[in-house]
Amino acid sequence: MGNEKSFWGKFKTFSIYAGPSTFAFLTVMIIPFIYGVYLTFTSWDGLSEIHKFIGFENYIAVFKDTEFWTSLGFTGWYVLATVIITNAIAFLLAYVLTTGMKGQNIYRAGFFTPNLIGGIILGFIWKFVFSNILVYIGENFNLPFFETSWLADPKKAFWTLVIVAVWQYSGYMMIIYVAGFMNVPKDILEAASIDGANGFKKMKSIILPMMIPSFTVCLFLSLQRGFMAYEVNLALTGGGPYKTTELISMHVYNKAFLSQQYGVGQAEALILFIIVATITLIQVSITKKMEVEA
């Protein structure tokens, strides 16, 4: 083998180890991405065989598309609600399920299960719950809160989306937090107990700082999933009532395929990508800085 220092030598070593994955990454991620960026400058309708180069017209159309910005704002609230509630519940569950209580493994598996159900099916199940079961209960037990379908009211429909997302993801995040709890060194906790630290003090000064890596991962995942949510949105509310619960992914998809303005839809997708990338990068860099060594 010999010459590891020459360019070809390095190239060969690289190709052997990382070649296949680099190739796959290039062909299924990078090249389509570049082609997608190119399409934002054309007037393609998604189906025809010709497309004209039209410069920045699509981007101008995006800035004029008020629905896009409304939908983005709505998505912002959705992400805020899901990230906070999902992580709070996941953390609490993880805390309870690492105290050594009876049957904690069964509980862990139970809370994780919703994550294994696909988004579309999940959406239909919950649609049935919100528009049939809850309404039935409301009518028969005189609970005005449930008497009308939550999916028919814009504000309540927002919360149905949040509830389902939290239910789906908190089990997954819980597993990550459980791993975080188990990685907190026992000797430090013991030392703290000997020094007279109470539960709250231990949580604040030892457990939380030691678990920052878990927070980094969980916040990143829940942020990214919140912005990219689509299937549950489609199956549960379908963007309704009257487009008030249309999350950004659904808006982009509808722009491209329903309104048949592929270029504009693609430009919106690119803007969305930039926004999500910026937010998650900032989040990761902040939480990374907060990490401490034991």
Partner 1 sequence: MKRRKILSLIITVVLATSLLAGCGTKAKTDDTKAAIATDKAVKITMLNTKGEILTQLEAAAKVFTTENPNITVEIIPVAAGVSPFQKISTMYAAGNAPTLAMLDPNDIPKVADKFADLSAEKWVKDASAGTLDAGSVNGKVMSFPLAIEGYGLIYNKVVLDKAKVDPSTIKTTKDLEAAFAKVQATGVAPMVLSPMDWSLGAHFLTTLYMDQSKEVGSPEKFIGELKAGKVDLSTNTVFNGLMTTFDVLKANNLDKKSPLAGVYEKAAEHLGKGEAGFWFMGNWAWPDIKKFDTANGQYGFIPVPISNNADDYGNSQIYAGSSKFIGVDTKNNDANQQAAGKKFLEWLVYSESGQDTLVNKCSLVPAFSNIKLEIKDPLGKSINQYLTDKRAIPTIATLPGDHWAQVGASMQKYLDGKSDKKALATDIQNYWKNIK
Residues in the chain, total: 294
Query: From the CB of 112, what's the least distance to partner 1, in Å?
Result: 27
Which residue in 13, 22, 27, 140 binds partner 1 (CB under 8 A)? 27
Stretch that binds partner 1, among 30-38, 44-52, 89-97, 191-199 (CB under 8 A): 44-52
Query: From the CB of 32, what's the least distance to partner 1, in Å?
Result: 11
Which residue in 15, 140, 183, 205 binds partner 1 (CB under 8 A)? 15
Nearer to partner 1, 65 or 94 (CB): 65
Which residue in 5, 8, 155, 293 binds partner 1 (CB under 8 A)? 8
By CB under 8 A, residue 213 contacts partner 1:
no
3-state secondary structure the chain: CCCCCCHHHHHHHHHHHHHHHHHHHHHHHHHHHHHHHHHCCECCCCCCCCCCECCCHHHHHHHHCHHHHHHHHHHHHHHHHHHHHHHHHHHHHHHHCCCCCCCHHHHHHHHHHHHHCCHHHHHHHHHHHHHHHHHHHHHHCCCHHHHCCHHHCHHHHHHHHHHHHHHHHHHHHHHHHHHHHHCCCHHHHHHHHHCCCCHHHHHHHHHHHHCHHHHHHHHHHHHHHHHHCCHHHHHHCCCCCCCCCCCHHHHHHHHHHHCCCHHHHHHHHHHHHHHHHHHHHHHHHHHHHHCCCC
Q: Which of residues 107-166 bind partner 1 (CB under 8 A)?
A: 120, 131, 135, 147-149, 151-153
By CB under 8 A, residue 7 contacts partner 1:
no
By CB under 8 A, residue 230 contacts partner 1:
no
By CB under 8 A, residue 234 contacts partner 1:
yes
Number of residues that bind partner 1 (CB under 8 A): 31
Binding flags for partner 1, 252-291, as an x/- string (CB under 8 A): --x--xxxx-------------------------------
Query: From the CB of 120, what's the least distance to partner 1, in Å?
Result: 8
By CB under 8 A, residue 49 contacts partner 1:
yes
Which residue in 14, 23, 25, 56 binds partner 1 (CB under 8 A)? 23
Inter-helix orientation angle 66-96/154-182, to 10°: 40
Nearer to partner 1, 21 or 198 (CB): 21
Query: From the CB of 95, what's the least distance to partner 1, in Å?
Result: 39
